[in-house]
Amino acid sequence: MIYMQKIYPTSLTPEQYAEQEHHKQVKAPGNCPNCQGAHSLEALAYYHRYITTATALVLLIWVRRFLCRLCRVSVSCLPEFAQPYRPVNTPTIAAGFNGEQARPEVQRWSQLIKGYWRRFESHLPALLRQVGNALGPVPLKPTAKGFWRQLLRQCGDLGSATRQLVHQFHTCLWGTYRCHQASAASGCMRAACAGAARRFSPTQLYYRSFGDRGRSSCAYESTIRFGCFGPGPARCGKLDR
Protein backbone atom coordinates (compact mmCIF):
# COMPACT_ATOMS: atom_id res chain seq x y z
CA MET A 1 0.00 0.00 0.00
CA ILE A 2 1.22 3.50 -0.84
CA TYR A 3 1.28 6.29 1.72
CA MET A 4 2.17 9.78 0.46
CA GLN A 5 4.58 11.44 2.86
CA LYS A 6 4.48 15.23 3.16
CA ILE A 7 8.12 16.21 3.51
CA TYR A 8 9.47 19.34 5.15
CA PRO A 9 10.55 21.71 3.88
CA THR A 10 8.00 21.30 1.11
CA SER A 11 10.55 22.64 -1.39
CA LEU A 12 12.83 19.64 -0.81
CA THR A 13 14.05 18.34 -4.16
CA PRO A 14 14.81 14.72 -5.07
CA GLU A 15 18.52 15.61 -4.99
CA GLN A 16 18.23 17.02 -1.45
CA TYR A 17 16.10 14.06 -0.38
CA ALA A 18 18.84 11.68 -1.52
CA GLU A 19 21.79 13.72 -0.22
CA GLN A 20 20.23 14.20 3.23
CA GLU A 21 19.15 10.53 3.40
CA HIS A 22 15.67 11.74 4.21
CA HIS A 23 14.28 8.21 4.07
CA LYS A 24 15.96 7.58 7.43
CA GLN A 25 13.91 10.38 9.00
CA VAL A 26 10.54 8.98 7.95
CA LYS A 27 8.27 8.05 10.85
CA ALA A 28 5.51 5.48 10.68
CA PRO A 29 2.01 6.88 10.09
CA GLY A 30 -0.08 6.95 13.26
CA ASN A 31 -2.72 4.66 11.76
CA CYS A 32 -2.45 1.87 9.19
CA PRO A 33 -3.89 3.20 5.90
CA ASN A 34 -5.42 -0.23 5.23
CA CYS A 35 -7.08 -1.33 8.51
CA GLN A 36 -6.83 2.01 10.40
CA GLY A 37 -5.18 0.24 13.33
CA ALA A 38 -3.58 2.77 15.69
CA HIS A 39 0.19 2.56 16.27
CA SER A 40 0.26 -0.80 14.48
CA LEU A 41 3.01 -0.07 11.93
CA GLU A 42 6.56 -1.26 12.49
CA ALA A 43 9.67 -0.86 10.36
CA LEU A 44 9.91 -3.53 7.67
CA ALA A 45 12.48 -2.60 5.05
CA TYR A 46 13.35 -0.06 2.41
CA TYR A 47 13.60 -0.21 -1.35
CA HIS A 48 15.07 2.02 -3.99
CA ARG A 49 13.43 3.34 -7.13
CA TYR A 50 14.14 5.86 -9.85
CA ILE A 51 12.86 9.42 -10.00
CA THR A 52 13.58 12.15 -12.52
CA THR A 53 14.91 15.54 -11.46
CA ALA A 54 14.26 19.13 -12.57
CA THR A 55 17.37 18.93 -14.75
CA ALA A 56 15.94 15.97 -16.70
CA LEU A 57 18.33 13.52 -15.05
CA VAL A 58 17.43 10.24 -13.34
CA LEU A 59 18.13 9.77 -9.65
CA LEU A 60 17.89 6.73 -7.42
CA ILE A 61 16.19 7.31 -4.06
CA TRP A 62 15.32 5.11 -1.09
CA VAL A 63 11.76 4.66 0.13
CA ARG A 64 10.91 3.50 3.63
CA ARG A 65 8.43 0.70 4.14
CA PHE A 66 6.46 -0.34 7.23
CA LEU A 67 4.41 -3.44 8.07
CA CYS A 68 1.11 -3.46 9.93
CA ARG A 69 1.14 -5.99 12.79
CA LEU A 70 -2.64 -6.37 12.52
CA CYS A 71 -3.46 -6.80 8.82
CA ARG A 72 0.07 -7.70 7.59
CA VAL A 73 -0.11 -5.16 4.74
CA SER A 74 3.11 -3.31 3.91
CA VAL A 75 3.02 0.49 3.59
CA SER A 76 5.54 2.38 1.44
CA CYS A 77 5.98 6.06 2.36
CA LEU A 78 6.56 7.91 -0.90
CA PRO A 79 7.64 11.58 -0.88
CA GLU A 80 5.20 13.89 -2.64
CA PHE A 81 7.59 14.54 -5.53
CA ALA A 82 7.29 10.85 -6.52
CA GLN A 83 4.11 9.49 -8.07
CA PRO A 84 3.05 5.88 -7.37
CA TYR A 85 4.55 3.57 -10.01
CA ARG A 86 5.69 6.46 -12.19
CA PRO A 87 9.39 7.44 -12.64
CA VAL A 88 8.73 11.03 -13.81
CA ASN A 89 8.61 13.40 -10.81
CA THR A 90 5.39 15.11 -9.73
CA PRO A 91 6.25 18.74 -10.71
CA THR A 92 7.35 17.66 -14.19
CA ILE A 93 4.15 15.69 -14.75
CA ALA A 94 2.09 18.67 -13.58
CA ALA A 95 4.01 21.01 -15.91
CA GLY A 96 3.38 18.68 -18.83
CA PHE A 97 -0.32 18.42 -18.00
CA ASN A 98 -0.46 22.23 -17.83
CA GLY A 99 0.97 22.53 -21.35
CA GLU A 100 4.39 23.91 -20.35
CA GLN A 101 6.08 22.20 -23.28
CA ALA A 102 9.03 24.62 -23.41
CA ARG A 103 10.51 23.33 -20.17
CA PRO A 104 13.52 21.06 -20.85
CA GLU A 105 12.44 18.39 -18.39
CA VAL A 106 8.97 18.24 -19.97
CA GLN A 107 10.52 17.88 -23.42
CA ARG A 108 12.86 15.15 -22.15
CA TRP A 109 10.00 13.03 -20.76
CA SER A 110 7.25 14.12 -23.16
CA GLN A 111 6.43 10.61 -24.38
CA LEU A 112 6.00 9.27 -20.86
CA ILE A 113 3.92 12.28 -19.84
CA LYS A 114 1.65 11.78 -22.85
CA GLY A 115 1.23 8.16 -21.78
CA TYR A 116 0.36 9.27 -18.26
CA TRP A 117 -2.31 11.62 -19.63
CA ARG A 118 -3.83 8.83 -21.72
CA ARG A 119 -3.91 6.63 -18.64
CA PHE A 120 -5.53 9.44 -16.64
CA GLU A 121 -8.19 9.87 -19.34
CA SER A 122 -8.97 6.14 -19.49
CA HIS A 123 -9.12 5.85 -15.70
CA LEU A 124 -11.26 8.97 -15.21
CA PRO A 125 -14.70 7.23 -15.17
CA ALA A 126 -13.57 4.81 -12.44
CA LEU A 127 -11.83 7.62 -10.56
CA LEU A 128 -14.98 9.75 -10.54
CA ARG A 129 -17.05 6.81 -9.27
CA GLN A 130 -14.70 6.57 -6.31
CA VAL A 131 -14.30 10.28 -5.61
CA GLY A 132 -17.82 11.48 -6.40
CA ASN A 133 -18.37 15.11 -5.46
CA ALA A 134 -15.81 15.09 -2.65
CA LEU A 135 -13.58 17.48 -4.62
CA GLY A 136 -16.42 19.66 -5.86
CA PRO A 137 -19.44 19.21 -8.16
CA VAL A 138 -18.75 17.03 -11.18
CA PRO A 139 -20.37 18.05 -14.50
CA LEU A 140 -22.68 15.69 -16.37
CA LYS A 141 -20.05 15.11 -19.05
CA PRO A 142 -16.70 15.37 -17.22
CA THR A 143 -13.47 15.59 -19.15
CA ALA A 144 -9.89 14.89 -18.11
CA LYS A 145 -8.95 18.55 -18.67
CA GLY A 146 -11.89 19.76 -16.62
CA PHE A 147 -11.21 17.40 -13.71
CA TRP A 148 -7.50 18.23 -13.83
CA ARG A 149 -8.31 21.95 -13.40
CA GLN A 150 -10.72 21.06 -10.60
CA LEU A 151 -8.03 19.06 -8.79
CA LEU A 152 -5.66 22.03 -8.92
CA ARG A 153 -8.34 24.43 -7.66
CA GLN A 154 -9.26 22.19 -4.74
CA CYS A 155 -5.84 20.83 -3.78
CA GLY A 156 -3.34 23.42 -5.03
CA ASP A 157 -0.93 21.08 -6.81
CA LEU A 158 -0.54 17.52 -8.02
CA GLY A 159 1.42 16.43 -4.93
CA SER A 160 -1.36 17.49 -2.55
CA ALA A 161 -4.01 16.04 -4.86
CA THR A 162 -2.25 12.67 -4.99
CA ARG A 163 -1.89 12.62 -1.22
CA GLN A 164 -5.61 13.23 -0.77
CA LEU A 165 -6.59 10.64 -3.38
CA VAL A 166 -4.30 8.03 -1.85
CA HIS A 167 -5.20 8.63 1.79
CA GLN A 168 -8.92 9.26 1.42
CA PHE A 169 -9.88 7.09 -1.57
CA HIS A 170 -7.00 4.59 -1.91
CA THR A 171 -6.48 5.54 -5.54
CA CYS A 172 -4.52 7.95 -7.72
CA LEU A 173 -4.76 9.50 -11.19
CA TRP A 174 -3.43 6.34 -12.81
CA GLY A 175 -5.55 3.80 -10.99
CA THR A 176 -2.46 1.70 -10.28
CA TYR A 177 -2.78 1.12 -6.57
CA ARG A 178 -2.11 -2.15 -4.85
CA CYS A 179 -1.97 -3.57 -1.35
CA HIS A 180 0.78 -6.11 -0.81
CA GLN A 181 0.32 -8.56 2.03
CA ALA A 182 3.41 -10.04 3.63
CA SER A 183 3.35 -13.28 5.58
CA ALA A 184 5.14 -13.53 8.89
CA ALA A 185 7.58 -15.98 7.33
CA SER A 186 8.55 -13.58 4.56
CA GLY A 187 10.75 -11.40 6.77
CA CYS A 188 12.26 -8.68 4.58
CA MET A 189 11.59 -10.81 1.47
CA ARG A 190 15.23 -11.51 0.68
CA ALA A 191 14.37 -14.66 -1.26
CA ALA A 192 11.93 -12.76 -3.47
CA CYS A 193 14.50 -10.01 -4.08
CA ALA A 194 17.10 -12.57 -5.06
CA GLY A 195 14.62 -14.23 -7.40
CA ALA A 196 13.86 -10.92 -9.13
CA ALA A 197 17.57 -10.26 -9.51
CA ARG A 198 18.14 -13.63 -11.14
CA ARG A 199 15.24 -13.15 -13.56
CA PHE A 200 16.18 -9.71 -14.84
CA SER A 201 19.47 -7.93 -15.42
CA PRO A 202 19.93 -4.34 -14.16
CA THR A 203 19.55 -3.07 -17.73
CA GLN A 204 16.29 -4.99 -18.19
CA LEU A 205 14.92 -3.61 -14.93
CA TYR A 206 15.82 -0.07 -15.96
CA TYR A 207 14.36 -0.18 -19.45
CA ARG A 208 11.29 -2.15 -18.47
CA SER A 209 10.46 0.46 -15.84
CA PHE A 210 10.94 3.38 -18.22
CA GLY A 211 8.98 1.55 -20.90
CA ASP A 212 5.86 2.35 -18.87
CA ARG A 213 2.85 3.04 -21.09
CA GLY A 214 0.20 3.24 -18.39
CA ARG A 215 0.60 -0.21 -16.90
CA SER A 216 3.45 -1.79 -14.96
CA SER A 217 5.54 -4.41 -16.66
CA CYS A 218 6.25 -7.76 -15.06
CA ALA A 219 9.76 -6.69 -14.08
CA TYR A 220 8.61 -3.37 -12.69
CA GLU A 221 5.82 -5.03 -10.76
CA SER A 222 8.24 -7.57 -9.31
CA THR A 223 10.70 -4.95 -8.13
CA ILE A 224 8.01 -2.78 -6.53
CA ARG A 225 6.33 -5.76 -4.91
CA PHE A 226 9.49 -7.21 -3.45
CA GLY A 227 11.21 -3.96 -2.54
CA CYS A 228 14.33 -4.15 -4.68
CA PHE A 229 14.23 -1.68 -7.56
CA GLY A 230 17.48 -0.38 -8.95
CA PRO A 231 20.76 -1.26 -10.62
CA GLY A 232 23.06 -3.90 -9.28
CA PRO A 233 22.10 -6.91 -7.14
CA ALA A 234 18.69 -6.75 -5.49
CA ARG A 235 18.98 -5.38 -2.00
CA CYS A 236 16.60 -4.97 0.90
CA GLY A 237 17.24 -4.54 4.57
CA LYS A 238 15.63 -4.20 7.97
CA LEU A 239 15.38 -0.72 9.42
CA ASP A 240 15.67 0.24 13.05
CA ARG A 241 12.41 1.11 14.70
Give the count of domains, the chain. Answer: 1
Q: What is the residue range of 56's domain?
A: 2-123+158-226
Q: Are 6 and 157 in contact (CB under 8 A)?
A: no
* The predicted structure's pLDDT at residue 176: 62
User: Is residue 40, in this structure, part of any structural domain at all?
Assistant: yes
User: Is residue 39, in this structure, part of any structural domain at all?
Assistant: yes
Coil/strand/helix, residue 179:
coil
User: Is residue 171, in this structure, part of any structural domain at all?
Assistant: yes
User: Is residue 61, in this structure, part of any structural domain at all?
Assistant: yes
User: Is residue 135, in this structure, part of any structural domain at all?
Assistant: no
CA 117 to chain centre: 16
With a cut of 70, which residues of the chain have pLDDT below it? Answer: 6-10, 176-241
* The predicted structure's pLDDT at residue 209: 37
* The predicted structure's pLDDT at residue 162: 92
Helices (H), 43-109: 90-97, 104-108
How many CB atoms are closer than 10 A to CB 180?
18
User: Is residue 53, in this structure, part of any structural domain at all?
Assistant: yes
Q: Are 165 and 150 in contact (CB under 8 A)?
A: no
User: Is residue 100, in this structure, part of any structural domain at all?
Assistant: yes
User: Is residue 19, in this structure, part of any structural domain at all?
Assistant: yes
Considering the chain, what percentage of its residues have pLDDT values greater than 70?
A: 70
Q: pTM for the full model?
A: 0.73
